[in-house]
Amino acid sequence: MLLVTGGLGFIGSHTVRALLDQGEECLVVQRHARPLPSFLDAKGVTVEQADVTDRESLLGLGRRHTVTGIVHLAGSYPWPPMPEGAVEATRRSLDGLLNIVQAAEEWGVRRLGLASTIGVYGGIDHGRPLREDAPLAMSAAVSIPTFKKVGELLGGFLDGHSDVDIVDYRISGTWGPLGHADPFFAAPALVHAAAHGTAPDLSGLMGPASADDGLDLNYVKDTGRAIALLQLADRLNHRTYNVGSGRATTNAEIVEAIRKVVPDARVDVPAGGGGPHMVLDIDRLRQDTGYRPEYDTERAAADYLAWLRAGNAR
């Protein structure tokens, strides 16, 4: 049985679906109770409510279930607002990581996958696809890449002093069912607007959106499948893997794909933008798992629109 933390969340639920499709049973741990998404059958899924920052409740899972692998996708990084203050938020984040590693050791887990982010590449040259061996900047503009870098460093240290195979997954911009408005790219807001016949609200973006702005975007079903393949691979030759599409998707491409399904969608974005796009080199992922993205922009937009138009809120 594989433990997936955050397994009822956005990327987590699709990872669970991909693991089920591979014949695995999953123990899904979520901090807050929520119903199973419609695409997850109860068969093969055991749900427990637990907080990874509570060591005793987390370790207790191993007394009730036989866990052979862990995919740690639960968000355990500080993000404003932080009512308890930055120090306590940081302590909670580190406790969550250390508790997961301790659980993996005590349960004799073979592999522990840790979610990281494309954001760790911020501050370096984006003129070519970003490889996992690229030197990373020591700073980051926001908390998520800051704590993911710390997590990668600690994971590397602990991997060297443990029998557990600790692997980092640097996940690209991800969109699709159960997703939400993202501050870093416009695709979710554009699709939601088209599905509901409204103009997109792009006010939550960190900067203005332009047609030629682009990023390595991966449809969430592909992201979940890539993580499942990494978790189940007999052998991995590296500790760090990029998880993405391996290409840039621009806002103009998103708009074009949306209009093939909803021709009158009010999803115009201003002309301009462009420049070097953050694109992940996914050669390691391809070579060690055989992964290939199945959803191009057109298929992804059509699938997401169908999901929303079927009455799903996000």
Given this model, what pLDDT does residue 104 score?
A: 97
**Domain range list for the chain:** 2-173+218-243, 177-217+246-309
What is the model's pTM? 0.95
The answer to whether residue 86 scores a pLDDT higher than 90 is: no
In the chain, % of residues over pLDDT 90: 77
Is domain 177-217+246-309 annotated with CATH 3.90.25.10?
yes
Residue range 258-272: mean pLDDT, rounded: 95
Q: Which of 74-83, 111-120, 241-250 has the lowest mean pLDDT?
A: 74-83
What Cα–Cα distance (Å) separates residue 24 from each residue in 27, 35, 40, 96?
10, 20, 13, 25
pLDDT level of residue 75 (50, 70, 90 thresholds): confident
The DSSP line for the chain is: -EEEETTTSHHHHHHHHHHHHTT--EEEEESS--PPPTTS-STTEEEEE--TT-HHHHHHHHHHS---EEEE-S--S--S--TT-HHHHHHHHHHHHHHHHHHHHHHT-SEEEEEEEGGGGTTS--SSPBPTTSPPPS--SSHHHHHHHHHHHHHHHHHTTSSSEEEEEEE-EEESTT----SS-SHHHHHHHHHHTS----TTSSS---TT-EE-EEEHHHHHHHHHHHHH-S--S-SEEEES-SS-EEHHHHHHHHHTT-TT------S---S--B-B--HHHHHHH-------HHHHHHHHHHHHHTT---
pLDDT level of residue 36 (50, 70, 90 thresholds): confident
Residue range 262-281: mean pLDDT, rounded: 92
Distance separating alpha carbons of residues 179 and 19, to the nearest angstrom: 19
Fold type of domain 2-173+218-243? Rossmann fold (3.40.50)
Q: Cβ-count burial of 10 within 10 angstroms (0-12 exposed, 13-18 middle, 19+ buried)? A: buried
The answer to whether residue 181 scores a pLDDT higher than 90 is: no
Given this model, what pLDDT does residue 192 score?
A: 95
The answer to whether residue 83 scores a pLDDT higher than 90 is: no
